[in-house]
A and B are shown apart, each in its own frame.
Chain A
Amino acid sequence: MNLLNTFFNIPVFLNSLPQLLWGLVVTLQIGITSILVGLGGGLFLAVARLYAPAFFQVLIRIYIDIFRSIPLLVLLIVVYYALPFVGIRLSPFLSAVTALSLVSAAYTAEIFRAGIEAIPHGQFEASAALGLSGRSTMMDIILPQAIRIVIPPLTNNCINVMKDTALASVVAMPDLLKQATQAQALNANPTPLIGAALIYIALLWPMVAVVARLEKHYSRGKR
């Protein structure tokens, strides 16, 4: 009974629930903004890497490699605590979104590149032979086919971004985890932390299940 009272204390949970839900809203704001910016940036990087002059291709390659290597927590702390020394002061929200988007764009670019490269070369040749412009080849022929291939890995990446939003609590962002730790301190009881964990699971489990279904769907050779 002591255990239940410690970890699943109903009065404490109900008491802290509004605070947790506010945290959830902030988490969703950071997560969705970062996912959208990361998707746009990643798609741009992937296409630019195919068509840009060689010099920019190298720059993009370097960008992707750096942001896939740097630990997100380190990047976030650099953005929030180091950039002010050179006069760039970002709010906790912008810091979190910047760090998450930079990294997500790098991963997304790699996912899109793999998707584009999976399209048979004959599709590019048929487009060229018909006289389609590079833009039309991408928009009408290649990307619609590539997107089907990249939906499962992209969804996986979205899940990762959502989970990584929890790191924003280290820059004092009142996200779900931060609210939970504050509520825990206030109540001298860890139930809010358990509540936060359950909310994360409730949020992401459906997405995980969707990925599993999509992967099964696309592996059946439907193209």
Chain B
Amino acid sequence: MAKTTGPLISIRRLNKAYGTFTVLHDIDLDVAECEVVCIIGPSGSGKSTLIRCINHLEAFSPNSTITVDGIRVAPGPALAKVRAEVGMVFQSFNLFPHMTVLRNVMLAPMRVRKASPEDAERKARELLARVGISEQAEKFPGQLSGGQQQRVAIARALAMEPGVLLFDEPTSSLDPEMVGEVLDVMRKLAGTGVTMIIVTHEMGFARQVADRVIFMDAGRLVEAGTPAEIFDNPREERTRSFLRAVLNH
């Protein structure tokens, strides 16, 4: 992806409302290249909605601006370009159930990047090896465990060689014993210089891998800082009470 001098993702005065209910309120956020940002906060605080705005899975107020690598995120032909640059991993995996694991990973590079089937397959097998599931390549998603499916979903997103990866609560629908394997893959990714924005409830993981932690509540960005600042020394009372509730249970 082309080098830009400014931040890779720039969000300015992001607002979103469902009718009279405000979901996101005046969010400003810059994410630099190679940065790993974790977004934490209570359910319904707008964390998922925020990252879903970045690839325009959610529409937002026309007065708000989001740019990804200098391209403005808005409906229209440029959106496909943004989406090709922004990979996403969903809470519910959303693999394509009628295709093999291999085909799931190969499809988008072939259709969007016009990769040849041979190149796409080589790349897909490489990525499946990287997330530790090469031997499942010919199976269908329904035959895999949740943790394996989520790792396929990560490989599928990586196949597009995106500049940014968005993770929308990637471990929230997994059985507890499978959370670790997915977090391990993400931890390794974070070490390779991929820009990542992660919505998560895994506080230990956030503390360990994040360059910056963002706390959101009621559609507002309450506080942002290094993991040490947020977890050990939060300035805001709302951050403190949230952390008390999730850490001491």
SS class of chain A's interface: helix, strand, loop or mixed?
helix
Question: Which residues of A from 82 to 129 have beta carbons under 8 Å from B?
Answer: 120, 122-123, 125-126, 128-129
Question: Which residues of A from 111 to 164 have beta carbons under 8 Å from B?
Answer: 120, 122-123, 125-126, 128-133, 136, 140-141, 144-145, 148
| Contacts known (A130-B160, A131-B160, A136-B111); A122 close to B94, Cβ less than 8 A | yes
B97 close to A223 (CB less than 8 A): yes
| Contacts known (A131-B80, A136-B111); A126 close to B142, Cβ less than 8 A | no
A123 close to B94 (CB less than 8 A): yes
Q: How far is the CA of A123 from the CA of B99 in the complex (A)?
A: 12
Is B96 interfacial (CB 8 A cutoff)?
Answer: yes
How far in angstroms is the closest Cβ of chain A from B89? 9
Q: How many inter-chain residue pairs (CB < 8 Å) link A and B?
A: 61
Interface centre among B57, B92, B108, B156 (most CB of A within 10 A): B108
A126 close to B94 (CB less than 8 A): yes
Residues of chain A lying within 8 A (CB to CB) of residue B157:
129-130
In the complex, 24 of the A-B residue pairs with CB atoms within 8 angstroms, ordered by the A residue number, are A120-B94, A122-B90, A122-B92, A122-B94, A123-B94, A123-B96, A125-B94, A129-B57, A130-B83, A130-B112, A130-B160, A131-B80, A131-B81, A131-B84, A131-B112, A131-B160, A132-B107, A132-B112, A133-B111, A133-B112, A136-B111, A136-B112, A141-B96, A145-B96
List residues of chain B with CB under 8 Å of any chain A CB: 55, 57, 80-81, 83-84, 86-88, 90, 92, 94-98, 107-108, 111-112, 142, 156-157, 160
